Chain A
Amino acid sequence: MNASRRGFGNVRLPEIASAETGDAAAAAPGEEGETLLALLHVLISGIALGCIYALVALGFVLIYKATEAVNFAQGELMMLGAFAGFALTQLLGVPFYLAMMIAVLLVAGLGVLIERIAIRPILGEPQFSVVMLTIGLGYVARGGVTMTPFLGADTYALPTPYKGEMLRFAGLALSVDQAVVIGATMALCAALYALFRYTKIGIAMQAASQNQLAAYYMGIPVRGLNALVWGLSAGVAAIAGLLLAPLTFVHVNMGLIGLKAFPAAVIGGFGSLPGAVIGGLVIGVVESLAGFFLPEGAKDIAAYVVVLLMLMIKPTGLFGDTQRKKV
């Protein structure tokens, strides 16, 4: 009975963007500016990584706000998105940008399907049930991908049209991959903000999340909206996966990054969308800085130490609501 019998024993995420940072730091001129520049590069790669955490955390929060369910399979949805992108571009030869869109839509559809088949029947059960259910879904996703022919447990690279290009200004080198991650996250956040602020469906979602029963009485199709939120959240996860894949690899266990997005969501206050983004950035930057300054190993647990501190100091997170439950 050893823990690695299912092939997930060694839970280590791939190193992210450290090679690029190292190259850029070495190429930077000057003695004094070198550490500063290296630090800047660490910060930027931390922000890029933080954006990924932020997107996964956004997925958690969207679902939590809408259905009060916590989706432990969010990381696996991200992994499925990356695999869909890889399979479409590399195995089926679909053009890159079209493939990205199809991948996101596929995973979003899967999200709707999961809500319909698995989540809706156990609505109203204790939260623990949903947690177990989504953990089970995650296992199924990982096992399913491992068993799929042509994919399996191997590691793949997802080449992008802009692979290896660097943006340089004032001695600061920024890989286009990272720039795309940061830019896409910002665009997605703006789009989500617009959705919830200006569209009818977004406002209906907000209403349903604040008080389901009242929203139901007002004629809002709450069940349909829940399915839509799951689809939206799965789509966001797929985008995160497609953004992460060029920075690291496409692998069955890449979804474990979702476990670091949990601290991100909690730091922001589970249930706050801006909080999730900021929490993600905090975790990303703290992790990168810990990797830079602290001894080996600190990087892996930095996110968890931060979240424990946060829970001790302010249990509701940065932007969490501090309402008390009444009888």
Chain B
Amino acid sequence: MRFLFKTDYKQDIRLFQHEGQVLWYGLLIAVMLAAPWLFGNYWLSQLTFVMIYAIAGLGLMILSGFTGLPSIGHAAFLGVGAYVEALLVARGAPFPLAMLCAAAISGGVGFIVGLPALRVKGIYLAVATLAFGFIVEEVLARWESLTGGNEGLTVAAPRLFGVNFAAPTPFFYVSLFVCVLVTLATLNLLRSSTGRAFIAIRDSEISAQSMGIDLTRAKALSFVVSAAIVGLAGALYAHKLRFISPEQFGLTQSIDLMLLIVVGGLGSVHGAFFGAAFLITLPQFIAIAKDWLPPEMAQTAGLQALVYGLIIILFVMFEPAGLYGRWIKLRTFFELFPFYRRGMFRRQRAFQRSERLK
């Protein structure tokens, strides 16, 4: 196990805690840069999807994982971002500009949603976001003059100065660039006082308030940042799929995003990436599993829902820290070998943590 000898307060908020991290993340970046030569087109495309979902997951992670505000309608922001991107690019805007607009408009929508949401919490907020998600999906489906309704919209290729970025390799680099940028921005946000305020609100609103944190401002900001990042992911999503329709941004997608952050590990930046990789590769594992199931069962559409449901249940019950928590435990096991104990990561249990007045 590595022990850090801290000689400076600044060490606490360094981007990299020690040289080992620099090495490993550097290697990761190098592998990602070399990916088009290492993987075929199919896996490159899957990797792009992982990054897009990781960006969306980071957005939701900031809201749910770090600020502690649940949202069951986050696919709506993905939808807003995707549609803004598609419409602007179709009118000839260069795609980076369109992406910025997508993020800005999605963030604006997030602010509008966040305003009433600031007054409510817990289950009320969950229902408010659920309602918002349904309303956005319906608006996208009914505003036919702009969005093309349920028939969907074909997204033009991303172009900049006459260069087409639609092919797998260039688009992979675009996604990688945005992904690295968003990750750095998230990390920087979380080490700043704003991010620490978010975490304080998650842990206890009352103590955060007594420490002088402006709850309204911080929560609204969390909503805006989260929505903007998810909107950015939506813009990439639109280009990657090249065809968008309202049903892609419905409740199923919102639950996918929640599954992503829960399975990845609530409250960790790594979690968004682990979760995204899990979400993208899961259908392929299910496809493999279908081969050794009796055909009557394998053919039904229910198998995937069943597996998704079981995964959510098992993770919530047995590994609330998600894949990232599992990874930490595994790493600690080897670092401390043979002195790892089962109780090292035991959860603290309250009899019942109540949101009501006792």
Q: Which residues of A contact B (CB under 8 A)?
A: 1-11, 64, 68, 70, 118, 121-129, 131-133, 135-147, 149, 152-153, 211-213, 252, 259, 262-263, 266, 270, 297, 300-301, 303-305, 307-308, 311-312, 315, 323-327
Contact = CB atoms under 8 A, between A and B. Distances in A.
Contacts of A303: 131
Contacts of B126: 70, 131
B95 interface: no
A136 B138 contact: no
B358 A211 contact: yes
Given A143-B309, A144-B306, A6 B301 contact: yes
A33 B127 CA distance: 40
A68 B247 contact: no
7 pairs of A and B residues whose beta carbons are closest in the complex:
A146-B302, A139-B309, A143-B306, A136-B312, A143-B305, A304-B131, A140-B309
B294 to A, nearest CB: 10
A121 B317 contact: yes
Nearest to B249: A3
B316 A136 contact: yes
A124 B350 contact: yes
A122 B304 CA distance: 25
B352 A123 contact: yes
B interface secondary structure, majority: helix
Contacts of A142: 302, 305, 309
Contacts of A311: 116, 119-120, 124, 127-128
A111 to B, nearest CB: 16
A147 B354 contact: no
B64 interface: yes
Interface stretch (B84-92, B161-169, B252-260, B334-342): B252-260
A132 B262 contact: yes
Contacts of A139: 305-306, 308-309, 312
Contacts of B247: 2-4, 9-10
Contacts of B266: 128
A144 B252 CA distance: 17
Contacts of A300: 134, 138
A11 B251 contact: yes
B128 A307 contact: yes
17 contacts: A1-B241, A1-B280, A4-B252, A6-B304, A9-B250, A64-B123, A118-B313, A127-B123, A127-B355, A143-B309, A146-B302, A152-B300, A259-B130, A259-B251, A300-B134, A304-B134, A315-B120
Interface of B: 49, 64, 68, 70, 72, 116, 119-120, 122-124, 126-128, 130-132, 134-135, 138, 141-142, 206, 241, 247-253, 255, 258-259, 262, 266, 280, 283, 296-297, 300-313, 316-317, 320, 349-358
A237 B119 CA distance: 30
Given A6-B252, A153-B301, 9 more contacts: A11-B251, A123-B351, A125-B353, A128-B68, A132-B262, A143-B302, A143-B305, A146-B301, A304-B134
B356 to A, nearest CB: 7
A68 B352 contact: yes
A207 B140 CA distance: 47
A2 B248 contact: yes
A interface secondary structure, majority: helix
Given A68-B354, A127-B122, A132-B262, A3 B297 contact: no
Given A3-B250, A138-B309, A143 B303 contact: yes
A163 B138 CA distance: 34
B45 to A, nearest CB: 10
Contacts of A70: 123, 126
B89 to A, nearest CB: 20
Given A11-B250, A64-B123, A140-B310, A307 B131 contact: yes
A8 B355 contact: no
B244 to A, nearest CB: 10
Centre residue among A64, A262, A311 by max chain B CB count within 10 A: A311
Contacts of A270: 123-124
B179 to A, nearest CB: 17
Nearest to B73: A304
B233 to A, nearest CB: 13
Contacts of A297: 138, 141-142
A129 B312 contact: no
Contacts of A145: 302
Contacts of A304: 130-132, 134-135
Contact of B252 (A8, A136, A146): A8
B297 A147 contact: yes
A149 B295 CA distance: 12
Contacts of B142: 297
A2 to B, nearest CB: 6
A301 B141 CA distance: 12
Centre residue among B305, B349, B358 by max chain A CB count within 10 A: B305
A301 B135 contact: yes
